[in-house]
Amino acid sequence: MKTMTTEEIINLLDANEDLNVIDVRENFEVEEGMIPGAVHIPLGSIPERTSELDASKPYIVVCKAGGRSASACDYLAAQGFDVTNLEGGMLAYDGELEFK
């Protein structure tokens, strides 16, 4: 499984890279803030919402600490998606937040 550090994603965000971030945390968790531009798809909803994703784009998957996003990456990779797990999740992320 491909992984990325929070420092790497912050550098990409600072460079205004066009990122496709999926946040698989629960609703109450995303209320605390998300990575700017992230799409919220709770882990349990991933199977029925894969049709919303574009298989030609790479995705970065994030959760609170990295475990649930790793599970989501395993599932999505098996479906043919190019996915990268954010190591340490939002606990390790200290960049800008977006509130929805």
Is 73 in the active site?
Answer: no
The CA-atom distances, in angstroms, between 29 and each of 24, 26, 32, 62, 64 are: 10, 5, 6, 12, 8
List 43, 46, 63, 83, catalytic entry: 63
Is residue 82 classed as helix, strand or coil in its secondary structure? strand
Residues involved in catalysis: 63
